[in-house]
Amino acid sequence: MKKRLLACMLVLIIVLSIILVGCGNNNSKGESSTGVSNSKNANNGKRELVRIAWLGLSPNDTVDPISGITFKGSYLFKELLEEKIPEAEIQFIEIPGTNWIQKMETTIKSGEADIGWYTNQVLAAEWFVDHRQFMAKDPEFTEETFEKLFIPVAKHYTRYHTFDFPDKAGAIYGLPYDVACYYIMYDKKLLEQWGVEPPSERPTFKELLEIASKTTGKNPVTGKQNYGGYIRTYWCEWLGVGADIYRPLSMSEMDISKLDISKYVDYVLESEEVLDYFQFLIDFIKYCPPGITSDSGKEKWLTPDNDIAVMLDTSATGVYYNHYLAGNKEVTDRFVPIFLPIGEQGVSGFPEVHHVAVTYNAKNPDLAWKVVKTIATDKDVLNLIFEHYSPSQVPALVDTSGLKIMEDKFAKARYEDRLQHSLITDDYWYWREPIQKVFGDLFVGKLTAEQARQQWHTNMMEWIENKKKQLGK
């Protein structure tokens, strides 16, 4: 009897739990999970909830441990957006940086966000709606407005181009609000100790190699071991943009079966630029710390004990910007940022653009569109973003008047760099993943430059054939 009673109670608890879970967080009617009603008859007036999933946006103030700068939490962003759009109740969902793609996807697909954040993601087509539908019925923001408002790189990487979804080529998923600008650096003090002239503001690969060769060994002043450079195994493909090793792709249809192999792939086998770039990497690695293949050896970068002359790892240079904002002269006087090399094509670096976009399952897409527009174009909002949430990025707008970040010389120079020297290509995965596979062996001396070139070509052909198989072409 006791056992049956226990069993009945357990079954009841399970059933109740399932009912409660199933009925909870029902945003279509009644109360939402935040306790704010979505209906127009809510206690707090006409506000409707708009949930924004944003990368690395903390709800609370954070203090950068390196520079000591306090960055405001998302509450400030929320307040400003609600001021700009009185009918919206803004809720931010922080997406942590690690494995952010999965977290963003899960958040969006589970219906937890009306607006999402992304960079150059192939899967944007699955997460967001084509914003041309909004532009078609919004007289204040048409497709023509989109073309006029944003700089070429921002526009280009907002229009969708990928071999996986050829039917969606040309779609606009969201609006861009900032662009990343990577840079490399050198240690001025180290170069002075070695008696080596600093590189130019935009050095050539030859210049960098020469400096690295002259600053490797026992430092003549301190007697400590120095290394001429540091480079990361991954991300080398983007350094190669400035070496003219890629042919920018332009295809309106994005049909991989129509990719001109001779123009976009076979050129590699004859390209001197490709050979020179691989040779540069092979030569440069000799002047790097022995731990670079396991991403070690740069621990002292930006510290008084630094032993690396030229830093080509752009992830390490990003930290510099916080010192710059904090006015930390100890660092900024010694470590000098310079632009990535460019070749005859006049382009360099990774064309990273950050977007906000209305999700495919947004509860109120029209209101969400209004929020997206505000984030991407309102100067007050952008000023807040650049001050607290994206301090090291540069604007995506053509008209930067009123943007405080542009008062800073460094930011302005980087904006100009992205305006003039960004790589514009319809797809880069067909060469990016193949060349990434080459670097592992190249960095440990398993490949010569010629072998690396051959391997890259083989990898590209394989990638393209596999993609064709997957797409049934």
Partner 1 sequence: MSNDSKKLIKTIRKNWGWYPFVLIPFVGTVMFNLVPLLKTFIDAMHNNAGTFIGFTNYEILFNDEEFIIAIKNTVYMGALGVCLNIPFAFIFANMLNRIPRGKNLFKVIFLTPMIISIVAVALIFKFIFSADSAGVINYFLSLFGISPKGWFSDPSMSRETVIIMAIWKGIGYNIILLFAGLQTIPSEYYEAASIDGANEFQKTTKITLPCLRNTLIFVYLTSCISVLKRFADVYAISGEYGNPANTLLTVILYIYKKMFSTLFFKDVGIGSAASIVLFFIILFITCINYILTEEREMSLFRGGKRRENI
Least distance from C-beta 99 to partner 1, angstroms? 5
Alpha carbon 242 to its chain centroid, in Å, reads 18
61-88: b (≥16 Cβ within 10 Å) or e: eeeeeebebebbbbeebbebbbebbeeb
Query: What is the rounded distance in angstroms from the CA atom of residue 357 to the CA atom of residue 149?
Result: 16
Euclidean distance between the first and the last CA atom of the chain, given in angstroms as a whole number: 67
Place of tokens 């084509």: 130
Half-sphere exposure of 322 (CA within 13 A, CB side): 16
Does position 33 interact with partner 1 (CB under 8 A)? The reply is no
- Nearer to partner 1 (CB atom), residue 147 or residue 462: 462
Query: Would you count residue 16 as binding partner 1 (CB under 8 A)?
Result: no
Binding mask 361-390 for partner 1 (x = CB under 8 A): ------------------------------
433 binds partner 1 (CB under 8 A): yes
Contact pattern for partner 1 over residues 50 through 89, marking x by CB under 8 A = ----------------------------------------
* Strand partners of residue 115: 52, 358
> Which residue(s) pair with 311 in the sheet?
185, 230
Binding of partner 1 by 120 (CB under 8 A):
no
Number of other CB atoms surrounding residue 399 within 10 Å: 12
Q: Quick one: DSSP state of residue 200?
A: P
Strands 335-338, 184-187: pairing is antiparallel
Name the minimum Å distance from CB 329 to partner 1.
29
**Is 205 a residue that touches partner 1 (CB under 8 A)?**
no
Greatest pairwise CA separation for the chain in angstroms: 92
Residue 4 is a binding residue for partner 1 (CB under 8 A): yes
234 touching partner 1, by CB under 8 A: yes
Angle between helix 272-285 and 205-214 (nearest 10): 20
* Number of residues near partner 1 (by CB under 8 A): 44
Q: How far is the CB of 112 from partner 1 (least distance, A)?
A: 19
Q: Establish if 409 lies at the interface with partner 1 (CB under 8 A).
A: no
| Residues in contact with partner 1, shown as a per-residue x/- string from 411 to 430 under the rule CB under 8 A | ------------------x-
Nearest to 350 by CA among 252, 417, 406, 277: 417
What character string, x for contact with partner 1 (CB under 8 A) and - otherwise, covers 276-295? Answer: -------------xxxxxxx
Q: Does 222 bind partner 1 (CB under 8 A)?
A: no
Q: Which CB atom, from 141 or from 284, has the smaller least distance to partner 1?
A: 284
Do the Cβ atoms of 393 and 386 come closer than 8 Å?
yes
Q: Does 466 bind partner 1 (CB under 8 A)?
A: yes
Q: Least distance in Å: CB of 124 to partner 1?
A: 12
Would you say 369 or 439 has its CB closer to partner 1? Answer: 439
Query: Residue 414 — φ and ψ, nearest 5°?
Result: -70, -35
List 138, 164, 266, 276, residue binding partner 1 (CB under 8 A)? 164
Angle, vertex CA 319, rays to CA 425 and CA 60, nearest 5: 100
Binding site for partner 1 (CB under 8 A): 3-4, 6-7, 10-11, 14, 99-102, 122-123, 164-165, 225, 233-235, 289-297, 429, 432-433, 436-437, 440-441, 443-444, 446, 462, 466, 469-472
